[in-house]
Amino acid sequence: MQLLIADDHELVRDTLAAFLERESDLTLDTVENLDQACTRIESEGPYDLVMLDYTMPGMKGLEGLKRALALNGGKPVALMSGTASKAVAQEAMDAGAIGFLPKTMAARSLINAIRFMAAGETFIPVAFMTQEEPQEPLNELAKGLSPRELQVLGGLCRGQANKEIARDLNLQEVTIKLHVKTLCRKLDAKNRTHAAMIAKEAGLF
């Protein structure tokens, strides 16, 4: 059984490899971003299962999943994440993923899930999809902002440049510029620094 794991965190790759390489019938390749994964699929694939980290470079949300699915010859592709929500997991399944794996899964459960998906069966932990997601009290300032605008505003408050925010959110820099412009309008801010100051004074970040 040939597996490909793509994750930009070396510790995650090494940890998964340490567990999976104990299985005598599994052959594992690892890469650190989507472009490398696609190149490997084209040269070595199709793989029995490709596992993609949802937030690694190049993914651009579910676009990376669709790209890998198109290249892997009809064989399964799964997403894994330590931060994605139930909504993202469901969107991934709807887009054609064979499964979704939270990175909090125990090693033995992970191996069982991988075998299940490589056999063509869909997998997503019931406990993950049924757990209650914590509801935080919504700051008054946040009520008029979209989730994406809040993410961008958080970057501004951390002093990040548009390019850095774009990289963290897997978006184009021009998209971040548009969000910053919208934020300044919504917050009645003169510029990005003023927007960050307003957010901090309101206790949003």
172 shares a domain with 120: no
pLDDT at site 133: 57
In a domain, 135, yes or no: no
Please determine, for residue 145, whether its predicted confidence score (pLDDT) is greater than 70: yes
Please determine, for residue 191, whether its predicted confidence score (pLDDT) is greater than 80: yes
Extract long-range pairs of 23-28: CB within 8 Å, 24+ residues apart. 23/111, 25/1, 26/1, 26/114, 27/1, 27/2, 27/3, 28/3, 28/4
Please determine, for residue 42, whether its predicted confidence score (pLDDT) is greater than 90: yes
pLDDT at site 138: 54
147 shares a domain with 83: no
150 shares a domain with 111: no
102 shares a domain with 28: yes
Please determine, for residue 99, whether its predicted confidence score (pLDDT) is greater than 90: yes
Which pTM was predicted? 0.64
Please determine, for residue 131, whether its predicted confidence score (pLDDT) is greater than 80: no
94 shares a domain with 76: yes
191 shares a domain with 125: no
Higher pLDDT, 178 or 142: 178
pLDDT at site 6: 96
* Token couple for 49: 């299962």
In a domain, 23, yes or no: yes
112 shares a domain with 43: yes
144 shares a domain with 121: no
- What's the structural domain count of the chain? 2
Beta-bridge partner residues of 99: 78, 123
Confidence band for 143, pLDDT divided at 50, 70 and 90: confident
104 shares a domain with 19: yes
39 shares a domain with 19: yes
Domain that holds residue 87: 2-130
**Residue 109, domain CATH:** 3.40.50.2300
In a domain, 183, yes or no: yes
Higher pLDDT, 51 or 204: 51
> Strand order in 27-31's β-sheet?
27-31, 2-6, 49-53, 77-81, 99-102
Q: Is 135 in a helix, a strand, or coil?
A: coil
163 shares a domain with 184: yes
